Structure 1
Amino acid sequence: TTLNNWVSDSSTQIAFGRGSSGYAIINSGSSSWSRTFVTPLPDGKYCNVYDGASSSSGCTGTTITVSGGSFTATVSSYSALGLHTGALAGGTTTSSGTATTSKTTTTTTSASSTATAVSITFAETATTVWGENIFLVGSISQLGTWSPSSAIALSSASYPVWTVTVSLPVNTSFQYKYIRKDSSGNVTWESDPNRTYTTPSSGSATENDTWR
């Protein structure tokens, strides 16, 4: 399954998705980690499988609500959070798309014929020095609403091209920029003007940029 929506606000905090099936957050730092995470998980209430499980009445542990391609969570120090489509609050989802509770009540769900989100890959060419990372931030909530603390980390796996794939609402126009963060948390914004983009009505796309 494709790794996506990678976030790392520090060397002790990582979060990432596995396609549209799951999302994991690991906090090995000494302080809690709070932020909004972007995910292609379908909207719904999910059980954190790190501290509990799905039950007929909800979750035995923490319940997380995914809405509009994102969710907000606080992960305690030296703790973790795990969400997947097989652990929904009140029941588990089988591979056939049928939600089954412990009372053996089944409800068949069908996907909407109209897409509500698309996967956009942002590819930024940028050279960095040791300790620097590239992040994406923008005018919509899925991109952190211009807050550097909520910016999305790009992967350096194809350095000097940094990439990240984000699930965004269809037919949506927004502005965005790339920023650099060093190991001390200092932020450097790329130069003006803001970049602009409009998501397509379906499918996926790649936006190629160069640091300026």
Structure 2
Amino acid sequence: MTPFSNKQAPEASSPTATPRATRPGAIEDGRAVAATTTGCTGTKITVSGGQATVTIPANNAVAIHVNAKADITKIATTFNVTADLESGQTLHVVGNIPALGGGSTANSVALTANGDGTYKTIAELPASTAVSYKYLIKNGATVVEQEAANRTFTTPANGTHTSNDTWK
């Protein structure tokens, strides 16, 4: 965080801003404000269209955390698959979400063999998000075969999700 005095930045554009700087040495109403272990504290500023207007009273400061991200609820999503693979092959899932490789087979997520012809992995996916995915078989880093059609679901707003699938 970088504190700005009211003489330096009367207006600021940022994903988040707080009228109270929360790092050691920051000043609010003429007194030092200590940092917290949970990050910035103080009044939240609404950003609209990528901009926020902040009024800083005399002898106060504002901190702008440029790379701040909103808390995103994650859904523990289990992928259970029944498949008959040959020796040396591994089953992977790839999807449109970064946690599923972002569409890149090179970044696909390997499923763990359960030893009974079923495979499983758990991925943390963003809540209330449309997910498009497919399974593929690799031998080492080489994709041997992949499904032609994508499968889809939308993660719930909270809780968990399980996809029970059969390869092809």
TM class by shorter chain equals 0.5 to 0.7
CA distance in 2 between counterparts of 1:135 and 1:188 reads: 10
SS in structure 2 at match of 1:107: coil
Per the normalisation by structure 1, the TM-score is 0.45
The percentage of aligned residue pairs carrying the same residue is 37
Q: Distance in 2 between matches of 1:182 and 1:175?
A: 23
Q: Distance between the aligned counterparts of 1:202 and 1:115, measured in 2?
A: 11
Match of 1:128 among 61, 64, 85: 85
State the one-letter code of the partner of 1:129. Answer: E
Distance 1:186 1:168, change over 3 A: closer
Contact 1:138–1:145 under 8 Å retained in 2:
yes
Structure 1 runs of 4+ off > 6 angstroms?
A: none
2:103 pairs with 1:174 = no
Q: Partners in 2 of 1:159 and 1:148 — Cα distance? A: 25
Deviation string, structure 1 residues 150-181 (Cα, Å, up to 9, x no partner): 00000002531110000000000021000000
Which protein, 1 or 2, shows the higher relative CO under an 8 Å CA cutoff with sep ≥ 6?
2
- Mapping 1:132-143, distance limit 5 Å: 132-143=89-100
Q: Deviations over 1:29-52 (max 9, x none)?
A: xxxxxxxxxxxxxxxxxxxxxxxx
CA distance in 1, matches of 2:107, 2:77: 18
* Separation of aligned partners in 1, 2:143 and 2:38: 46
How many residues are paired up? 104
8 Å contact kept, 2:92–2:110: yes
Which protein is bigger by CA-based radius of gyration?
A: 2
Deviations 1:123-149 (A, max 9, x none): 011011100000000112221122111
The alignment's TM-score, normalised by the length of structure 2, stands at 0.56
C-alpha distance in 2 between matches for 1:196 and 1:184: 25
Q: Assess if the C-alpha contact under 8 Å between 2:97 and 2:125 holds in 1.
A: no
Larger fraction in strand: 1
Say whether the 8 Å CA contact 2:106–2:141 is kept in structure 1.
Answer: no
Change in 2 beyond 3 A, CA 1:137/1:184:
closer
C-alpha distance in 1 between matches for 2:155 and 2:107: 21
Partner SS state of residue 122, structure 1:
strand
User: Cα offset for 1:186?
Assistant: 3.5
Distance 1:136 1:186 in 2: 12
Q: Hey, what's the Cα distance between the residues in 2 that align with 1:171 and 1:144? A: 19
Whole-angstrom CA distance in 1 between matches of 2:151 and 2:145: 16
Partner of 2:164 in structure 1? 208
